[in-house]
Chain A
Amino acid sequence: MKHSFIDEYSGLDSFVHRLDPRTKLLCSLTFILAVVLTPAGTWKVFAIYLLIVLGLIWLSQLPLKYVLKRSLVIFPFVIMIAIFVPFFKQGQVAASYDIGTWHIAITYEGLAVLANVIVKAWLCILCLIVLSSSTKFEELLHGMYRLRVPRVFVQITSFMYRYMFVLADQAMTMQMARDSRNYGLNRGNIFKTLGNMIGVLFIRSYERAERIYAAMLSRGYSGEIIVVNQLRFRLPDAYFASSLALLLICPAILWW
């Protein structure tokens, strides 16, 4: 079975694609930090950040539609976390309802916080999409490794990427096997089989992990990960990093 990749457009060849993964990782981190640390309600600053991301998308030749579509995945999570804020935040009431004995009020301050959270999360995810679509996953891991991200973490990420699709294949096969035997099940049974499937997937993954570890030991693994090829910072990396830093400082100079 075929699946799409996380790094679907990473094979393109653009200025951003050619940068050292470490530059891209550090720049993304800086960008995210800047977004998170910007005070709520400074919409002009957020507009500049959005322009920066759009600029990066253009520079890396990624299809805008693809990036925007991908960025939608963040909304369910953000909304799940922040949807109740407008109800709890104290402040000027925008609307209020009476349901039975309950009194529910939405405040303008609460709505502002919600908007702020959504905008920040969206800007961050856009930046991360540009990062992951302009860098091959291996390079990204390599960059993380060279930036001294804990090795265990890099390795877990690597295994995740390697076996994610294997796991997805297994899940899909099991689903097909279930569907070809089941018709007209009621809801309760569906959840029960779903629970069983998750359990089986877990046990299979656990056993696979043991076999992989045996395969690693067989080839002399001793707990250390050694990476072969080398990365090198070049002049464009310096240009890119310094211009991004300037752009991020810009709003601070202009408005504070």
Chain B
Amino acid sequence: MLGNLDLSFVSWDMLSKFVLSGFIFSIQLTIVATLGGIFFGTLLALLRLSGRPWLVIPATFYVNGMRSIPLVMVILWFFLLVPLIIGRPVGAEASAVITFIAFEAAYFSEIMRAGIQSIPRGQVYAGQALGMTYGQNMRLVVLPQAFRNMLPVLLTQTIILFQDTSLVYAIGAYDLLKGLVTAGKIYGRPEEAYLLAAIIYFTLCFGLSWLVRRLQARIAIIR
């Protein structure tokens, strides 16, 4: 079955020359998009829960709009628009970072909205009774608990995000997958390179989701 496949081209030399920089970019993109996405996603969630129509409507429109478009199209859109807006060409990598922050913010905002709503109203009232401002109430009472409650979901979304970073293939950014595909072409082993990509992604994602499940179990006991 594996007869016509030959993985012997895999060597440390090959990996460090072609794959490592792509792998580092994939990880960077995942981390930056997660942190940026959670930051802007939390802001979006606060806007949607603010109760003021001129804040709620645009934020809702943004989140639902992003969530109804395929990620590949969003990647293409930003690659087209970002140079027009800032007036000079940007690399595929920079464009990918901006895209993923903007796109993931919509998904993280839904998670954070659920997290904020999972905090009993009584806690907000208690904060108000203590004379806390809205900002203090959010920062000291609501958000820390919302983050804690949603931590497993946030991490699961990060794993999905990591898988999705492979879609920067559409604009030719040099990520883990692109690195492997390039190496496969140069060594004349394209099929084996795809298989290797599957093995690497599977190992990372499976390992991470196993960690998330363990974390979830620990959090469940504390609560």
Partners in one complex: no
Task: Report A's interface with B, CB cutoff 8 A.
Answer: none
